[in-house]
Homo-oligomer: A and B are copies of this chain.
């Protein structure tokens, strides 16, 4: 055990901020990335404020200890996984909304705030924060910043980085800084705010987040198209986006996912269709009607066997819930290895089909959900519990899907991050020179090499 760091922590932090009992640390060891490795931490700290975070960073610098920041542990790439002898920093005690400046449409929150709780607080004032990862009932704003989380609505409203204005950060040298600014525009200095977002805790520890907020959008209209083939559905997506329509969500759910949700929740969703597209528009009035109509025409022109506009919010919400519940429903069937590739709109059909073929070739069930409107596909590789041989086949399929994404002009991760699982994929996607630029930036901002080392960029 690394006693130096434990001594250092207990000498600067109050007892309630430090956990060193291994039994009490079990809930902090890893995120939800199936099969990503994790180690045994020396301690878990639960700081009460920024000054305590600073003490933790300084203690890690002094003792040469790795520091792993952690949100709710809903990550899917292993970015929050413990490293042997490390300190895990959990923000569960830094979880407040610090300020809502309604007139300037800005809110200031602590990193441990859960996404949906933040939305609920804002909604009381008629305000809204966009980024809506499927994990938002559990995941934290700080975790969302760490991974630059996306979600369903980002096809229209952008990802986390598009909403973050300013960050308070404890740097790799143990200093407290503010990066970015509260104003809508500003070009003073390098955009270190943007660099921090999505860097998975490898460049600094975020202790406070200022985001822009908007007025609550109108109730959406939901449309659905049922298709006999992935190809037809992919073509419908390309047609919608190619025409410049920007829905507030355009999600794909395949047969396996619908069935799994239905078996679990008995929602009466199962259809004979191979795949369903769920589109939403929150544009007001006639504009919303026009966009809903245009999406339905794209569904029909691409060969939908059935297309429908939800007659009320409840029906629309039921379809949408099927999308949200798909992941936990599938997890009931066995370990799920989640892919997260993003490809150009025009390649959605082709790559979806390729993922299915890859699964078939390796004897692995590949179910698919997708933020199809962004070309962000989540093939889900499912293996029977405890079947080691199937696990190996799934890993091979995982690698082939990554290669397919790159070959299609896409990326190996649309929104989940590199973490540990996608380090090989990143090496394939970017040139060695770019990887060296990442390392140069990492060395510049984390000169002691303590910030979540070994994650996010190739070492």
Chain A interface residues toward B at CB < 8 A: 101-106, 147-148, 150, 154-155, 159, 161-162, 171, 173, 175, 177-179, 181-192, 194-195, 197-199, 203, 214-215, 238, 241-244, 283-287, 290, 342-346, 371, 374-376, 409-418, 422, 425-426, 429-431, 433-435, 437-438, 440-445, 447, 456-457
Contacts and interface: CB of A to CB of B under 8 A. Distances in A.
A195 B198 contact: no
Contacts of A438: 189-190, 192
Those 10 A-B pairs whose CB atoms lie nearest each other, nearest first: A215-B244, A440-B444, A444-B444, A186-B411, A194-B194, A183-B342, A185-B414, A103-B242, A104-B344, A184-B374
A147 B179 CA distance: 18
Given A185-B159, A199-B190, A409-B182, A244 B444 contact: no
Number of copies of this chain that the complex holds: 2
A153 to B, nearest CB: 12
A144 B290 CA distance: 35
B194 A343 contact: no
Nearest to A106: B344
A53 to B, nearest CB: 15
A238 B284 CA distance: 23
A14 to B, nearest CB: 26
11 contacts: A102-B242, A147-B187, A150-B185, A184-B374, A185-B342, A185-B414, A186-B342, A190-B198, A192-B434, A215-B244, A284-B290
A174 to B, nearest CB: 10
Contact of A434 (B179, B197, B198, B433): B179
Contacts of A243: 215
Contact of A183 (B414, B431, B435): B414
Q: Which of A103, A178, A429 has the most CB atoms of chain B within a 10 A radius of its CB? A: A103
A440 B429 CA distance: 26
Given A285-B287, A287-B283, A287-B287, A433 B188 contact: no
Nearest to A346: B103
Contacts of A148: 187, 191
A433 B102 contact: no
B195 A191 contact: yes
A215 B242 CA distance: 9
Given A190-B195, A194-B195, A409-B182, A440 B434 contact: no
B189 A415 contact: no
Contacts of A175: 433
A80 to B, nearest CB: 15
A285 B342 CA distance: 34
A456 to B, nearest CB: 8
A214 to B, nearest CB: 6
A326 B375 CA distance: 43
Contact of A411 (B188, B283, B344): B188
A434 B345 CA distance: 39
B244 A103 contact: no
Contacts of A244: 105, 214-215
A421 to B, nearest CB: 12
Contacts of A105: 241-242, 244, 345
Q: Which of A188, A346, A414 has the most CB atoms of chain B within a 10 A radius of its CB? A: A188
A413 B346 contact: no
A430 B188 contact: yes
Nearest to A243: B215
B155 A188 contact: no
Contact of A188 (B178, B374, B422, B443): B422
A412 B199 CA distance: 27
Nearest to A216: B244
